[in-house]
Amino acid sequence: MSEFYSEKDVQREVTELQGKSATAARLFDIRRIIGGLFVIYGVIVTIAGLTASDADIDKAEGVNINLWTGLGMLALGLFFLVWLKLRPVAPPPPGDDERVE
Amino acid sequence: MHPPTNLAAELRLPTNWLDYTILGIYFVVVLGIGFAARRSVKTSLDFFLSGRSLPAWVTGLAFIAANLGATEILGMAANSAQYGVYTTHWYWIGAIPAMVFLGLVMMPFYYGSKVRSVPEFLLLRFDKAAHLLSSGLFACAAILIAGVNLYALAIVVEALLGWPQWVAIVVAGFFVLAYITLGGLSSAIYNEVLQFFVILAALIPITVLGLKSVGGWDGLSDSLTESRGADFMTSWGGTGIGSDNPLGANWLTIVLGLGFVLSFGYWTTNFAEVQRALSAKNLSAAQRTPLIAAFPKIFIVFLVMIPGLVAAVLVPKIGTAGSDLQYNDAIPYLMEQLLPNGVLGIAVTGLLAAFMAGMAANVSSFNTVFTTDIWAKYVVRGREDEYYVRFGRLITAIGVLASIGTAFLASSFSNIMSYLQTLFSFFNVPMFVVFIIGMFWKRASMKSGFWGLIAGTTAAMVNYFWIYKQGIIDIPSDQGANFVSAIAGFVAGAVVMVAVSLFTAPKPVEELQGLVYGTTSPGMAEPPAPGDEAWYRKPALLGWGAVVLAAACYIPFSF
């Protein structure tokens, strides 16, 4: 390393690594995981709301909080799954050939 | 505030199999993300920076989640129970302007220069001395802060679920270690995005039910105005210079100390945050990362402040000798009082998720700085890339073990939140002054960076340990002292940098391209990606929109 560690060294090193990077091609889409987890949570909590005892409802200031939270989580999960369905990840654009080996 | 070790024993939550099922599913998903992200790690850039390829909404939500650790959630609720609506300052003036500045002004230099870390930028702008010092300081701070998160997790889990402290530390440490070692930064970021939504799902029911239990916002406001005075429900009431308020700060120290120095130091130079933006797929996405994060940040204050205020109504003596409950117990208390099984499991999961987010952000930034800035530049240079990926995995494991050690160290400090703020004033503020001067003043010489860092850190420590702790000047609270330390560190660092620059050689102009305001480097000239011309993706519009919205939020709380 010379006296200055120059910007050109970093530019070259990072550009080279970015060319070999596999993240863009191989990393899964997080929307699937968020959607899946929230649908599962939504169903579990909604069922807890549908079968809520009076004690549960009294505790939560008279609100069936499990039902409402469950429905909200279910809606969020479905939103992510629908978004994924409607707008899947675009394949890397053809001009971006430095990412493709 | 008192040591949170005294979390009241009656806070044990009535969890059942349903809550543990929800928690168990979460841990399985967290590990699953680690295993699934593993195949995307091929180069060191993949492991440490997700190959600079993530979309803006993912990095933006990870940016906010990395900040939304449980120490932040419990600490800011505690702040609200103690100081009232003053808490909004940590969000609207203490975060938004700095986040917008990072996105609009600083990101072109960070991202465009292709540096992999904040210290690496200092290496390009200044010299090896500044680089090594800042890398070393950052690595230590990251491990200390990860340890604080782990310790806070252990005491909260012990109080709420009855697990022994070492079980909680080992379980949380193991999961964080596993998913970062497997999938690197991609896995950390994906988990943070997931954590963000789980944390919201935990806080929203607590806030809604809390408000209902005290008769809505009007009931809350009337009750606290009566018991704590009118200023308790305002942002700026009683902050005139010379007037007395519980925060121990006036509008000038709030604006300069919190709003400018502490906040800019944290948001713009703390690598645990900036790393999320550097992993974005292009300059536009990197700029939008903190701007997308700014919008949730404006509103999250309500989800932590309202539970704190509600607790102050329900337990009027909270935090004083007349009650078993500490300020830090505000959110756990409401969970215990209001949430039935089911939502309770979500809330427990959200709290654990928040602890793990706070810890993982620090571990994943620590391994990057230690590997690319210290090991690969000064210890073992020029090895093949695979070696540095292996080393990164090894140092992740060492980092987690070290933070388990610092967790036990943190247990000797009485107040976690102000311990954290104090660490920030020591480490982030000097870094920020060196950055801001280096970025805007071409003449700042190569040597000035190192001396600015030394002077800033020393001044902040002297103010804290000597002037404040020894009572040389009377500052009413820890938070007020942190604001003053921050200003002192900033001024000392700036003065020393200017003085050193006047007597030492500047860096040659051709070495400063793309590092100083007003210059550009080849990396910045990249054309916008298709779709980035859309109006809602314009950084300037997003940034100024956030600033205007934050300013507007102050209006109802200012009179």
* Domain presence at residue A76: yes
The angle that helices B70-83 and B330-338 make with each other, rounded to 10 degrees, is: 90
pLDDT beyond 70 at A97: no
Local confidence band at B525 (pLDDT 50, 70, 90 cut-offs) = low
pLDDT beyond 90 at B427: no
B256-268 CB burial, b ≥16 within 10 A, e <16:
bbbbbbbbbbbbb
**What chain A residue is nearest to B114 in terms of C-alpha separation?**
A11
If one compares B9 and B423, the residue with the highest pLDDT of the two is B423
Residue from the list A34, A44, A59 with its beta carbon closest to the beta carbon of B197: A34
Which residues of chain B make contact with A60, given a CB cutoff of 8 A?
209, 338-340, 343
Beta-carbon separation of A7 and B44 below 8 A: no
* Residue whose structure tokens are 């910007």: A7
What is the C-alpha separation between B312 and B318, in angstroms, rounded? 6
* Domain presence at residue A60: yes
pLDDT of residue B524: 59
Question: pLDDT tens-digit profile of B268-282?
Answer: 988 999 999 999 998
Local confidence band at A7 (pLDDT 50, 70, 90 cut-offs) = low
Beta-carbon separation of A27 and B50 below 8 A: yes
Q: Are A45 and A66 in contact (CB under 8 A)?
A: yes
Total CB pairs under 8 A between chain A and B:
169
Local confidence band at A101 (pLDDT 50, 70, 90 cut-offs) = very low
Q: Are B209 and A65 in contact (CB under 8 A)?
A: yes
Q: Is A51 on the interface with B (CB under 8 A)?
A: no
pLDDT of residue B150: 87
CA nearest B370: which of B54, B110, B120? Answer: B120
Residues 6+ apart with CB under 8 A from B469: none
pLDDT beyond 90 at B468: no
Question: pLDDT tens-digit profile of B162-208?
Answer: 888 888 888 889 999 999 999 999 999 999 999 999 999 999 999 99
Q: Is A42 on the interface with B (CB under 8 A)?
A: no
Q: Is A101 on the interface with B (CB under 8 A)?
A: no
ipTM of this complex: 0.87
pLDDT beyond 70 at B10: no
- Which of B141-150, B447-456, B479-488 bottoms out in mean pLDDT, i.e. has the lowest? B479-488
Q: What percent of chain B has pLDDT over 90?
A: 39
Q: Is A58 on the interface with B (CB under 8 A)?
A: no
Q: Are B81 and B330 in contact (CB under 8 A)?
A: yes
* Domain presence at residue A55: yes
User: Alpha helix locations (H) across B84-164?
Assistant: 89-92, 96-101, 107-112, 118-125, 128-161
Which residues of chain A make contact with B135, given a CB cutoff of 8 A?
none
* Domain presence at residue A30: no
Domains along chain B with CATH numbers: 4-415 (1.20.1730.10)
Which whole number is the average pLDDT over B340-358? 90
CA nearest B418: which of B347, B469, B356? Answer: B469
The letter for the amino acid at B226 is: E
* Domain presence at residue A67: yes
Residue from the list A20, A65, A73 with its beta carbon closest to the beta carbon of B43: A20
What is the C-alpha separation between B115 and B137, in angstroms, rounded? 18
* Domain presence at residue A79: yes
Q: What is the gyration radius of the CA atoms in chain A, in angstroms?
A: 24
Total domain count for chain A? 1
* A18 Cα to chain B: minimum distance (Å): 6
* A79 Cα to chain B: minimum distance (Å): 13
pLDDT beyond 80 at B417: no
Running DSSP on this structure, what letter comes out for residue B50? G
Q: Would you tell me how many other CB atoms lie within 10 Å of the CB of residue B496?
A: 22
**What chain A residue is nearest to B47 in terms of C-alpha separation?**
A23
Q: Are B172 and B352 in contact (CB under 8 A)?
A: yes
pLDDT of residue B505: 87
**What chain B residue is nearest to A17 in terms of C-alpha separation?**
B45
* Domain presence at residue A10: no
Consecutive H or E run containing B334: helix B330-338
pLDDT of residue B527: 66
What is the C-alpha separation between B413 and B91, in angstroms, rounded? 25
If one compares B413 and A9, the residue with the highest pLDDT of the two is A9
Which whole number is the average pLDDT over B437-441? 90
* Residue whose structure tokens are 């000064």: B378
Concatenated DSSP letters of B188-221 = HHHHHHHHHHHHHHHHHHHHHHHHHHTTHHHHHH
Q: Is A60 on the interface with B (CB under 8 A)?
A: yes
- Which of B114-118, B313-317, B362-366, B416-420 bottoms out in mean pLDDT, i.e. has the lowest? B416-420
Concatenated DSSP letters of B529-554 = PTTTTSGGG-HHHHHHHHHHHHHHHH
Q: What percent of chain A has pLDDT over 90?
A: 40
pLDDT beyond 70 at B483: yes
pLDDT beyond 70 at A92: no
Question: pLDDT tens-digit profile of B85-139?
Answer: 888 888 998 899 999 999 999 998 889 888 999 999 999 889 889 999 999 989 9
How buried is residue B453: exposed, middle or buried, by Cβ count under 10 Å (0-12/13-18/19+)? buried
Local confidence band at B64 (pLDDT 50, 70, 90 cut-offs) = very high
pLDDT of residue A4: 53
Question: What stretches of B399-459 adopt beta strand conformation (E)?
Answer: none
pLDDT of residue A90: 65
Beta-carbon separation of B124 and A23 below 8 A: no
Running DSSP on this structure, what letter comes out for residue B525? G
pLDDT of residue B358: 84
Angle CA B144–B90–B273, to nearest 5: 45
Beta-carbon separation of A23 and B46 below 8 A: yes
Residues 6+ apart with CB under 8 A from A32: A80, A81, A84
* B419 Cα to chain A: minimum distance (Å): 34
Which residues form the domain of A47?
A: 36-88
* Domain presence at residue A40: yes
pLDDT of residue B2: 36
Which residues of chain B make contact with A28, given a CB cutoff of 8 A?
36-37
Q: Are B222 and B233 in contact (CB under 8 A)?
A: no
pLDDT of residue A99: 42
Local confidence band at B521 (pLDDT 50, 70, 90 cut-offs) = low
Give B550-553's long-range contacts (Cβ < 8 A, gap of 24+).
Answer: B550/B91, B550/B92, B550/B93, B550/B96, B550/B97, B550/B294, B550/B298, B551/B92, B553/B88, B553/B92, B553/B298
Which residues of chain B make contact with A38, given a CB cutoff of 8 A?
197, 201
* B43 Cα to chain A: minimum distance (Å): 6
Which whole number is the average pLDDT over B30-55? 91
- pTM of the complete model: 0.90
Mean pLDDT, chain B, rounded, equals 86
